[in-house]
Structure 1
Amino acid sequence: MSALLARPGADAYHAMQRLADDPVFALRSHRFHELARGKAERDAENPAWTAAEVVTFERQFTAPVKTGEDLLRLVMGVLADIAQNLTKGDATSRALLERAKDEEEVQHWLVEQMNARAHGRFHAFREAEVALGHKPDVIAASTSAPCQVAVEIKHGGKSWSARDLENTLRTQLAEDYLKEESRRHGVLVITHHRDRRWQRIGDNKPISFSDLIAWLSGIAATITENAVGQISVQCAGIDAWKRDTSADPPKATEAKAKSRDRRRPVAS
């Protein structure tokens, strides 16, 4: 019991709750619930910062990552910045990503982009076990706490269907890659490289890349646990495809022409 109460994290808390609800411990149920609540209150306290982390915060305005939830939030912010810069930045590597021939090239590119924005808070890397399917494509590990985020990457220009991507989210990422105690958070990243549509589950109607990401994000929000305990997963999209608009009619010119036509008196 002492070892269970001393162990931080959601797994130990839920274990205490299961003990409290077990008929075998009915006479101690109220006490066990009190112990579980006290444990949750202690776990809710943010881990203390070191002197070096305080100095870094003062100089760089970047807080250390102390929990898996903090790391997931940071990784999602970094992915959003990558996606934003890819489409809105003055000088980007969008064309390089668009030409990526397979997921390995995307992985190398994404690790480089993530580490460039880490500012010492985490380190993104690939491991040799990827080839054997034992590890996620990319792991983001905090530099100030024993927590990791699994990043699974799918090349949207390949033959992955919407159902394939859903299975990747539910099984490969949520079940297979989030079993370690230090890795209970994950992100499915899908990249978009060419003009294509996916078939929506249910009515087989074509949906865009943005609709696909929104649909998968909704599913991710419902996944809160796997076989070993509480988890959290999210989905992110990186759009590298740039539609060629050179052949499109100039909309502004057309609008002005139509406006002039409406003001022009009709000939009798």
Structure 2
Amino acid sequence: MAENYGNITPWSVHQFKEFCKSEMVSPESHRQLFELAVLQLKTLKDWVENGNDSPWVTWQRATEENEVRTLIAAELRKHSKGYYTIAEEPELANEQRMDIWLDNPKVRSPVPIELKLLDKDWSGPKLCERLRNQLVGDYLREEAAGCGVFLLISQKTTKKWVVNGQRVGVNELASALKCYWKTIAGNYVGVDEIEVIVIDMKVRGLVCDT
């Protein structure tokens, strides 16, 4: 069973001083590594969706998952500041491969990031199944691994997905999948938290018309 992290992981004095200098802390637990991964991915999301130098047009041309995975991993690596390392498709004991994982030598288990391109043929039920069986059921099996990220990339698609009986668009997809996770989380007592992040590359191309 994974260790019980609670809602807040306290920082050490060293971590507090470190944060004051760099606005980042070197993670000392799996939960802290997960929180750092979420922070970095949300920063990346804001850059792609709102940044003046957003690479969204170029990134839309990457049609294969491995291409997008390399772009995401490169950005995470570039902003790591030595607080974590990035691996793409590391092989597990059963020959499965995570898309991306964040690792730190002080932390026993890495944090998996499972990536899906929404422009591919992913239905709502299939996304739920991959979250449940792949991210949680396969990649969080290790005793000390309690947190993971489901990263969804929307390049050009405008389709909708049915999740838990509700039809949702790209703006509601993350919250719908997190609600789905809450309905099944009780079956996975060793898993502490799952974060769902959707990066929508179309957002930066919108022009205000009011």
Shorter chain as normaliser: what TM range? 0.7 to 0.9
Residue 198 (structure 1) shift = 2.0
Corresponding residue number in structure 2 for 1:156: 118
Corresponding residue number in structure 1 for 2:158: 196
Q: Is structure 2 residue 196 aligned with structure 1 residue 239?
A: no
Q: How many residues align?
A: 207
Residue 228 (structure 1) shift = 7.9
Name which of 209, 213, 222 aligns with 2:174.
Answer: 213
- Name the one with the larger helix percent: 1
| Structure 2 residue ranges without an equivalent (≥5) | none
Tell me the percent identity: 20
Q: Report SS of the residue matched to 1:200.
A: strand
Q: Report SS of the residue matched to 1:150.
A: strand
Contact 1:151 1:188 in 2 (8 A): yes
Q: Is structure 2 residue 26 aligned with structure 1 residue 64?
A: yes
Find the aligned partners of 1:162 and 1:89 in 2 and give their Cα distance. 29
- TM superposition score normalised by structure 1: 0.66
1:1-268 paired onto structure 2 within 5 Å: 10=3, 56-57=18-19, 59-129=21-91, 134-201=96-163, 205=167, 207-224=168-185, 229-242=190-203, 251-252=209-210
Residue 232 (structure 1) shift = 2.2
Q: Report SS of the residue matched to 2:96.
A: coil
Structure 1 residues 89 and 244, CA gap change in structure 2 (3 angstroms): closer
Structure of larger gyration radius: 1
Structure 1 residues 66 and 245, CA gap change in structure 2 (3 angstroms): closer
Residue 211 (structure 1) shift = 1.4
Contact 1:66 1:144 in 2 (8 A): yes
Contact 1:178 1:231 in 2 (8 A): no
Residue 161 (structure 1) shift = 0.7
Q: Answer 1 or 2: higher relative contact order, Cα 8 Å, separation at least 6.
A: 2
Corresponding residue number in structure 2 for 1:265: none
Structure 1 residues 98 and 224, CA gap change in structure 2 (3 angstroms): same
Give a deviation string over 1:217-268, Cα, whole Å, max 9, x none.
222344546668344212110111258668xxx945xxxxxxxxxxxxxxxx
Contact 1:68 1:149 in 2 (8 A): yes
Structure 1 residues 161 and 180, CA gap change in structure 2 (3 angstroms): same
- TM superposition score normalised by structure 2: 0.82
| Structure 1 residue ranges without an equivalent (≥5) | 1-7, 14-39, 253-268
Residue 138 (structure 1) shift = 0.7
Find the aligned partners of 1:223 and 1:106 in 2 and give their Cα distance. 29
Find the aligned partners of 2:17 and 2:148 in 1 and give their Cα distance. 30
Residue 201 (structure 1) shift = 4.0
Structure 1 residues 46 and 164, CA gap change in structure 2 (3 angstroms): same
Give a deviation string over 1:44-93, Cα, whole Å, max 9, x none.
9968677xx68755642422211122122211111111111112111121
